[in-house]
Structure 1
């Protein structure tokens, strides 16, 4: 069975936006937009497009109203703040402008960054691109430890805990106990991207750029890699445990902490997979289910469960 891709669908497009929003973005970039290429990847109904300007420059812009998606609007505002604080050494897009705009269509959250000349890795994964992605996890960890600015700890997010209490499994008591260790397992002083996947990663001729930063938080250095591996494995990247154990960051992790993280991730994804569909994002629940199943199989292998 083909694994679901990280494409939520129903993105707004440049031509869907009112002229007042066009005008805000054109003032921010100092040029008239003559072309727009929508970027379909990711789970957001916001506009996300590479814009071509009359003078030949290109920029990347996101925009959405709170009425269309309060969550997406909040994510754009958080990402604006994160990008404004990231030091130049971090491989992330440079922020050009971010702010709010109110018109008859609603309360808009808008962000404009540089347009990265790059491409997302092929899915299923190709060996060279996968190698570059896995190497990038170390670069991110080294670039963002210690964190360059204060941020909430990943353990402060209440969505990650208590999920196994709503699920069933032959080893439920053990899963609940492992999930209880999430806070201690993830404690650290690194700034994490928080959502490292192929659709948030651009390969370039000289390196890579990581995009989509609203989930940035504090935690242990190796957590971004672990969060990424369920999606890597389900899209043909190989066995998650083999990828993990071969990676330099795995040598920094206590095995018990790894199991606690895997139990928590599996519970988080599987509990969300059975919630009602998200309006405008019909594929999200299947994507969460697939990641949860990979994480649970990975944990089962480590624990010797049948």
Structure 2
């Protein structure tokens, strides 16, 4: 099931005219583009002069959250130079009542993932390391990351039977085994969550939402888009929350890729304490554990499937890192 997105015919004529003026070319045609997991307005625009561009933003049917984060993303494109080597080119924005679109370089023809290869995953680690190094100097241009929704998920599972049951229901026939596992590890996981926000680790500019639907490879190099959540935060957050997506889609594991990222960063004198690795693994697992089993969101029909896909690898990595027993296998979810 696809997300409900507006058609190009829904876009007001005044906004189309603004695009033509901004790009100094008339529009030949445009099509809506699917990607991500929400009802964001996204279009590929074909100009009469032969160029194409990608337009994304908020419009008919967009959620309040789309409207809230859009100005934040636009500010990143406008003001943060460090993203230039790793993001699409930004051409500006257009707006009218009920609509606001960012105009970006079209990445049509670039390589999508999955399927992941080791070479692509390794390249992603190296390119993210370069971005993190360059972004440190501009970290003050964005807001500091909030701990809300990230550092209290295992705690909420201990305090709320409803949260606990959402998680355990993901195991179906293995529910009893999963409950025994949860009781055995919960008090180990809870105190590690709060370590995520400790200041005695490398902080800087982070993307904060790295998944396969937010990236492409162009000429063998990583390109990231959807910068709406960019903030100043622990650098390992970007990597740690990316690993479950990679492994869940058939790519290499965190254990294989993290040393590559750390080696790249060490060349610039940036090293990570052990607690930082443990904290981000625990928080990633807790984030997906408290979301994957909840009821579907109508406007985000594939979200729970994706969260469950990432939960398995996040739990595996966390338990392996901490020397804890592995949970039973999750019951499969259908991608509808």
| TM-score, structure 2 normalization | 0.79
Deviation at residue 268 of structure 1 after TM alignment = 1.4
In the other structure, the counterpart of 1:85 is: 79
Per the alignment, residue 4 of structure 1 pairs with none
Specify the alignment match of 2:177 in structure 1: none
Distance 2:23 2:11 in 1: 17
Question: Is 1:98 aligned to 2:93, yes or no?
Answer: yes
Which residue is 1:137 aligned to? 128
Describe the shift of the 1:163–1:130 C-alpha distance in structure 2 as closer, same or farther (beyond 3 A).
same
**Residues 140, 232 of structure 2: 8 Å contact kept:** no
1:211-249 Cα shifts (integer Å, max 9, x gaps): 111110112333322221110011111222222234325
The answer to whether the 8 Å contact 1:90/1:143 transfers is: no
In structure 2, what is the equivalent of residue 166 of structure 1?
156
Partner of 2:216: 202
| Number of aligned positions between the proteins | 295
Query: Secondary structure at the residue paired with 2:141?
Result: coil
Structure 2 CA distance, aligned partners of 1:152 and 1:188?
Answer: 16
Gaps (5+ residues) in structure 1?
1-6
Query: Post-superposition, which runs of at least 4 consecutive aligned residues in structure 1 deviate over 6 A?
Result: none
The aligned residue for residue 152 of structure 1 is 143
2:257 aligned residue = 243
Please list the CA deviations of residues 4-60 of structure 1 after superposition, one character each: whole Å capped at 9, or x if unmatched. Answer: xxx963333323323333233333323222132443221221222221101112221
Q: Distance in 2 between matches of 1:55 and 1:121?
A: 26
Higher alpha-carbon Rg:
2
Q: Paired residue for 1:122?
A: 113
- CA displacement 1:275-305 (0-9 Å, x = unmatched): 3322321011221222123212101011121
**CA distance 1:36–1:132, shift in 2 (3 Å):** farther
Distance 2:264 2:200 in 1: 14
CA drift at 1:85: 1.0
Residue of structure 2 aligned with 1:285, choices 281, 304, 308: 304
2:20 aligned with 1:29, yes or no?
A: no
Partner Cα separation in structure 2 for residue 29 and residue 9 of structure 1: 29
**Deviation digits for residues 42-80 of structure 1 (CA, Å, limit 9, x no counterpart):** 122122222110111222111323753111222322211
**Aligned mate of 2:207, from 186, 193, 201:** 193
Indicate how the Cα distance of structure 1 residues 274 and 60 shifts in structure 2: closer, same or farther if over 3 A, else same. Answer: same
Query: Once superposed, what is the RMSD of the aligned Cα atoms?
Result: 2.5
* Of 188-197 and 254-263, the range deviating more from structure 2: 188-197
Shift of 1:250: 7.5
Q: Residue 263 and residue 186 in structure 1: after superposition, are their counterparts in 2 closer, same or farther (change >3 A)?
A: farther
Is the 2:126–2:264 contact (alpha carbons within 8 Å) kept by the matching residues of 1? Answer: no
Structure-1-length-normalised TM-score: 0.86
CA distance change for structure 1 residues 75 and 284 in 2, over 3 Å: closer, same or farther? same
Which residue in 2 is equivalent to 1:3? Answer: none
> In structure 1, which of residues 51, 55, 63 is the aligned counterpart of residue 49 of structure 2?
55
CA distance in 2, matches of 1:95, 1:198: 21
Instruction: Identify, as 1 or 2, the structure richer in helix.
Output: 2
Between the aligned partners of 1:12 and 1:204, the Cα distance in structure 2 is 28
Query: Is the partner of 1:158 in helix, strand or coil?
Result: coil
What is the aligned partner in structure 1 of residue 314 from structure 2? 295
Contact 2:46 2:52 in 1 (8 A): yes
Q: Residue in 1 aligned with 2:189? A: 175
> CA separation of 1:181/1:157 partners in 2, compared to 1, >3 Å: closer, same or farther?
closer
Whether the 8 Å contact between 1:79 and 1:214 is mirrored in structure 2 is yes
